[in-house]
Amino acid sequence: MKKELITLNINGDDYEIAVYPWRTLNEVLRDQLHLTGTKLGCGTGDCGACTVHIDDQSVSSCLTLAVEVEGHKITTIEGLAPQAVANSELENCELNPIQESFVNKGAIQCGFCTPGMIMSSKFLLDHTPNPSEAEIRAGLSGNLCRCTGYNKIVDAIADAAEKI
Amino acid sequence: MSLPQFTFLMPTSLSEACSLLEEHQGKIKIKAGGTDMIVRLSHRAVKPDFLMALKKIPDLNQISYSPEAGLNIGALALLREVEISPIVLEQAPMLARAARATATVQIRNMGTVMGNVCNASPSADNIPTLVAMNAVIVASSGDQEREIPIDEFFLGPGRSALQANEIATAIKVPKVAAKTGVSYQKISPRSKVDIAAVNIGAMITLDKANKCEAVRISMGAVGPTPLRAKQAEKYLLGKEITDETLAEAGRLAAEDASPITDVRANREYRKLMVEVLTTRALKEASSLAVNY
Ligand SMILES: Cc1cc2nc3c(=O)[nH]c(=O)nc-3n(C[C@H](O)[C@H](O)[C@H](O)COP(=O)(O)OP(=O)(O)OC[C@H]3O[C@@H](n4cnc5c(N)ncnc54)[C@H](O)[C@@H]3O)c2cc1C
Ligand code: FES
Ligand code: FES
C-alpha cells in the first residue's frame, strides 16, 4: 500500500514526510521524527503519557492518525521549551513555568508520565488560570503516574498557576 | 500495538461519504473522533479494508437551538464542546453533565457525543439522558434523510438501527416542556474516568398540582441496550411526588433491570444501584421541574 506525502506543523516547524495512513501521530513523532519527548504507554487512550496538543486542545497521540492532523498546529513537550531542546547545557536554558514547577516541587521521579502530565497541565491552565485543587485533579484525570504520587504533581500545578 | 493496514478515506461531502459506504459495504468502518474505533482497530476487534473519517464533511459539528426545532447537536460536536456549550448548558444542562462524566479530558477533546451513541455500548454515558429527553437521531444516506426515535435506535450491544449506507448526522432533542426536569446519575467502581456500572437518565413533567404528568426513565449498563423503566414510569403517572412514591419507583425500576455480573459490579449490586440512582434521579428531576 502507498504512503501518503503530508506536511505536519509541529512546534512551529513544517515536516514533510511520507506516512502510511494507519500510522498514529505517536508513531510518527517518535519513530519517524525522533521527537521522543512524547511517550507511549498504553496505546489505548487510558494513561495520557502520549498527550500532545492539536490546535491547543490536549489529545492522545496514540489514538490520532497522523494523516488526519495535516494542516493543524501540533504542539509537543519539545515545543514548550524550544531553547532547552536546542541547548543541552541545562544551566542556561529557560523552561516553561509548568516544567520549572514540576522540577522545583519534586513532581518528577522516573519522568515517564511527565511530558503528558505537563501537556495536560498546560491545557488546564490555558482554560482555568486559577484552578481549585478539585479542578487540578479533574484536569489530570486522563494521566496516570506510577511513581511520584499525585500530590506533588498537584502542588506543582498550583505553584505554576501562581506564576503564570 | 500498531494498527492494522487500511485504506484511509476522507470524503468532503455527505453524499460522497454515503456513496463510499454503499460501494464498500461490509469492508468499511466510520471514524468520528476514533476513541472507540482506533482502540478496536488496535485490538484487532475489527479489520476493515477502508476507514472513513467524517471530519472533512462540513457543518457536522454545529450545536444550535430554536424553540421550534429544539436542540440540535451535530454528529461531529465533541464531548468537550457539548460539556461547555452555552446553548447546551442553557437548554439541556444534564446533557452537559453526561458529557463531562464521560472519559478523560483528552478523550473528550477527541470523541463525539454521536460516536458515543452510535457505538451503542449499553453503559455509554450520553445515552440515558438522551433517551429520557426523547431525542431523535437524524440519519442520512446521501440523498435521503430519516429520523430515528432514540427508543428504536439501539438493537443490541454495538448494534444500532443505522443502515450500512447511512451516516448519523445530528441528534435532535425536543424543547423541554414547562414544569419539566431532567437528571443524569452514574455510579462506577472508580469515582472518575470509569465506565458506568449503572447509569440512569430521567425526565419528569409535573402538572399544576405538582403531580407526575409524564415521565421517562432510561437505565444503562443493566441490559443489552439501554432499558426503559416501564413499570416505574407507569406507576408514577398521576402520583404525587413524595419520598415514598419515588422510593417505590426506584424499586420498580430495579425489577425491570436485567443486569449481568462482570468486572465492574455483580448483578445484585447493580439491581440495588438501579433502585438508588433511579430514586435519586427522579428526586433531582422533580425538584428542578417544580421551578422550571
Ligand atoms: C480511555 C477511554 C475512556 C473512555 N471512557 C468512557 C466513559 O467513561 N464513558 C463512555 O461512555 N465512553 C467512554 N469511552 C468511549 C468513547 O470515548 C466514547 O464512546 C466516545 O464518545 C466515542 O466517540 P468517537 O467520536 O471517538 O467515536 P468513534 O470511535 O469515531 O466511533 C464510535 C462508533 O460509532 C460509529 N460512528 C461514529 N460517528 C458516527 C456517525 N456520525 N454515523 C454513523 N456511525 C458513527 C463508528 O463507526 C464507531 O463504530 C472511553 C474511551 C477511551 C479510549
Ligand atoms: S499511550 Fe496514549 S493514552 Fe496511553
Ligand atoms: S514520575 Fe514515574 S510515572 Fe510519573
For B72-75, which contacts have Cβ atoms below 8 Å and span 24 or more sequence positions?
A: B72/B170, B72/B171, B72/B172, B72/B173, B73/B113, B73/B114, B73/B170, B73/B171, B73/B173, B74/B114, B74/B169, B74/B170, B75/B32, B75/B112, B75/B114, B75/B167, B75/B168, B75/B169, B75/B170, B75/B171
In angstroms, the CA A15 to CA B145 distance is: 41
Per the structure, the count of domains in chain B is 3
Same domain, A94 and A155: yes
**Is B234 found in the same domain as B277?**
yes
Last residue of a domain, one of A79, A100, A131: A79
Dump pLDDT digits (tens) for A47-62: 999 999 999 999 999 9
Instruction: Check which CATH number belongs to the domain holding A68 and give it.
Output: 3.10.20.30
How many CB atoms neighbour CB A149 within 10 A? 11
Tally of CB atoms within 10 A around B190? 9
Sign of CA dihedral B136, B274, B265, A140: positive
Residue B34 CA to ligand 1 center (angstroms) comes to 6
Q: Please check whether residues A23 and A47 belong to one and the same domain.
A: yes
Arithmetic mean of pLDDT over chain A: 94
| pLDDT tens-place string over residues B9-28 | 999 999 999 999 999 999 99
Give residue-wise pLDDT tens across range A111-135: 999 999 999 999 999 999 999 999 9
pLDDT at position A12: 95
Res B99: pLDDT: 98
CA B38–ligand 1 middle distance (angstroms): 9
Q: How confident is the model at residue B259 (pLDDT cuts 50, 70, 90)?
A: confident
Q: How far apart are CA A44 and CA A41, in angstroms?
A: 8
SS (H, E, C) chain A: CCCEEEEEEECCEEEEEEECCCCEHHHHHHHHCCCCCCCCCCCCCCCCCCEEEECCEEEEHHHCEHHHHCCCEEECHHHCCHHHHHCCCHHHCCCCHHHHHHHHCCCCCCCCCHHHHHHHHHHHHHHCCCCCHHHHHHHCCCCCCCCCCHHHHHHHHHHHHHHC
In single-letter form, the type of residue at position B8 comes to: F
* Contact by Cβ (8 Å): A122, A52: no
Do B200 and B227 reside in the same domain of the chain?
A: yes
B160-192: per-residue pLDDT in tens?
A: 999 999 999 999 999 999 999 999 999 987 766
**Are residue B188 and residue B269 in the same domain, yes or no?**
yes
Residue B1 within any structural domain of the chain: no
Per-residue model confidence as pLDDT tens digits over B122-152: 999 999 999 999 999 999 999 999 999 999 9
Evaluate whether residue B58 is within a structural domain.
Answer: no
Q: Mean per-residue pLDDT for A15-39?
A: 98
pLDDT of residue B196 exceeding 90: no
A67 part of contact set with chain B, CB < 8 Å: yes
Given this model, what pLDDT does residue B181 score?
98
The model's pTM is 0.96
Residues B208 and B285 placed together within one structural domain of the fold: yes
Residues B198 and B275 in one domain: yes
Q: Is the pLDDT of residue A84 over 80?
A: no
Residue labelled with grid coordinates 498504553: A42
A148 ligand 3 Cβ < 6 A: yes
Q: Are residues A64 and A127 in the same domain?
A: no
* Other CB atoms within 10 A of residue B24 CB: 17
Domain that includes residue A67, residue range? 4-79
Average pLDDT over residues A84-97: 72
| B39 closest CB neighbour out of A63, A64, A142 | A63
Banded pLDDT at A85 (limits 50, 70, 90): low
The total of other beta-carbon atoms located within 10 Å of residue B3's CB is 20
Q: What is the pLDDT of residue A13?
A: 96
Residues A92 and A151 in one domain: yes
Q: Do the Cβ atoms of A26 and A38 come closer than 8 Å?
A: yes
pLDDT of residue B58: 96
Tell me the one-letter amino acid at B149.
P
Region of poorest pLDDT, from A31-40, A84-93, A142-151:
A84-93
pLDDT in tens, B30-46: 999 999 999 999 999 99
Nearest to B34 among A20, A63, A138 (CB): A63
Segment B35-83, tens digit of pLDDT: 999 999 999 999 999 999 999 999 999 999 999 999 999 999 999 999 9
Show which of B173, B192, B226 is a domain's final residue.
Answer: B173
Residue B2 lies in a domain: no
Contact B39 A57 (CB under 8 A): no
pLDDT tens, residue by residue, B222-253: 999 999 999 999 999 999 999 999 999 999 99
Residues B71, B143 within the same domain: yes
User: Do residues A35 and A27 make contact, with C-beta atoms less than 8 angstroms apart?
Assistant: no
- DSSP labels for chain B? -PPPP-EEE--SSHHHHHHHHHHTTTSEEEESS-TTHHHHHHTTS---SEEEE-TTSTTTT-EEEETTTEEEEETT-BHHHHHH-HHHHHH-HHHHHHHHTSS-HHHHHH-BHHHHHHTT-TT-TTHHHHHHTT-EEEEE-SS-EEEEEGGGTEEETTEES--TT-EEEEEEEPPPPTTEEEEEEEE-SSSSS---SEEEEEEEEE-TTSBEEEEEEEEESSSSS-EE-HHHHHHHTT-B--HHHHHHHHHHHHHH------SS--HHHHHHHHHHHHHHHHHHHHHHHHT-
CA gyration radius, chain A: 16
Whether the Cβ atoms of residue B213 and residue B196 lie closer than 8 Å to each other: no
Distance CA B257, CA A130 (A): 43
Q: Which residues pair with A51 in a beta bridge?
A: A60
pLDDT score at B190: 74
Answer whether A45 contacts ligand 2 (Cβ < 6 A). yes
Residues with CB under 6 A from ligand 1: A 45-46; B 29-37, 39, 54, 75, 79, 102-104, 107, 110-112, 114-116, 118-119, 124-125, 162, 167-168, 195
Residues A94, A119 within the same domain = yes
Q: Compute the distance between CA of residue B128 and CA of residue B216 in angstroms, rounded to an integer.
A: 10
Q: How far apart are CA A114 and CA B249, in angstroms?
A: 48
Buried b (16+ CB within 10 A) or exposed e, B209-242: eeebbbbbbbbbbbbebbbbbebbbebbeeeebe
Cα B201 to ligand 3 centroid, rounded to whole Å: 38
Q: Nearest CA to A45 among B129, B79, B228?
A: B79
Which range of residues forms the domain containing residue B140? 63-173
Count of domains for chain A? 2
Q: B217 and B188, same structural domain?
A: yes
